[in-house]
Amino acid sequence: MEKEILIKKWLNNELNDSEKEAFGKLDDFEINQAIVDNAEYFKASNFSEIEDFENFKRNYNSKKKPVRKLQWVNPFLKIASVLVIVFGLYFLFHNSITQVKTAAGEKITAILPDSSQVFLNALSSIEYKPDKWNEKRSLRLDGEAYFKVAKGKKFDVVTESGVVTVVGTQFNVKQRTNFFEVKCFEGKVNVVSDTIERMLHPGQTFRILNQNFSEGITNAATPKWAGNMSDFESVPFKEVLAELERQYNIKITNKNVNVDRLFTGGFVHHDLENALISITQPMNMTYELSASNQVIIRGKNK
């Protein structure tokens, strides 16, 4: 009987007595058996596919360079090969991380394994382990995102500045350099940052700006950036400029500008000149579009 047929019937546990005897006499019986015996202890994630056994082994063997046979060391080489394959499969399928990220000027919606939704703002990213999601709903956020969390176990958003924990709710988390802000729109949100912990209810906000903590309120039902408009309340002008760069993928140069001056207002995401007028006129500044991705903002001399 052909070797390939024997292996397929062996994998399906369909060998009769005579076929078992023939299979046991194959020259690579030991390594075939060892690979399967060890690999059965590791479970791959449900969205990954592996080549059929014979192709997998053929591809592996084709990459090995011919060497002189050393009979006394051959069993050890087989064991080492099995361990490499098994541990390689384990780390490939059990440490998989899904990452979703946006570019400058880009916004996308990500659907998590439990159907929770994450709306990512420009230059932001999330990371999570899909194969562990049913055990622990937790993700890492860098940037800004608006969450609509499906009801279930607790849901953690881990950032560099703190952890936001909810069950089923809607909220926005913004994590930028020296700026951490959480806004609750529905349900309850627990926020922990260093030694500060607060339980937020709808309409309440939590902010740490340049290591200074403050609480506030919002009348909005959703974050304005999700509707293509950025809004600010008493934030340093440099944060406004940084957000403008993220939304329009531009580079801003300042001349005679106090970037620590506080700004309250906003700008749209679909019209650069309109946006520039919105942030410069209230601050008594002017702007110049020097190129498609270069902007100069000037403060007026007193």
Which residues have a Cβ under 8 Å from the Cβ of 177 and sit 6 or more positions away? Answer: 242
- Rounded to whole angstroms, how far apart are CA atoms 78 and 51? 20
DSSP 168: S
Nearest to 53 by CA among 6, 88, 115, 11: 11
> Which of 52, 69, 94 is the C-terminal boundary of a domain?
94
Residue 84's H or E segment, with its range, is helix 74-94
CATH number where 196 lies: 2.60.120.1440
- 162 and 233 housed in the same domain: no
Q: Domain range spanning residue 82? A: 3-94
* Residues forming a β-bridge with 294: 251, 291
248 versus 82: the higher-pLDDT residue is 248
Both tokens assigned to 252: 């801003």
Number of domains composing the chain = 3
DSSP 301: P
SS3 72: coil
> Which of 72, 94, 116 is the C-terminal boundary of a domain?
94
Q: Grade residue 290 by pLDDT with cuts at 50, 70 and 90.
A: confident
- Rounded to whole angstroms, how far apart are CA atoms 126 and 183? 18
- Rounded to whole angstroms, how far apart are CA atoms 1 and 96? 41
The mean of the pLDDT values for the chain is 83
Across 94-110, average pLDDT: 92
Phi-psi group of 7: left, alpha or beta (phi > 0 → left; psi -120 to 50 → alpha; rest → beta): alpha
175 versus 93: the higher-pLDDT residue is 175
- 112 and 203 housed in the same domain: yes
Q: Is the pLDDT of residue 86 over 60?
A: no
47 versus 32: the higher-pLDDT residue is 32
Q: Is the pLDDT of residue 38 over 50?
A: no
- 236 and 158 housed in the same domain: no
Across 280-291, average pLDDT: 93
Q: Grade residue 210 by pLDDT with cuts at 50, 70 and 90.
A: very high
Q: Is the pLDDT of residue 188 over 60?
A: yes
Quote the pLDDT of residue 291: 77
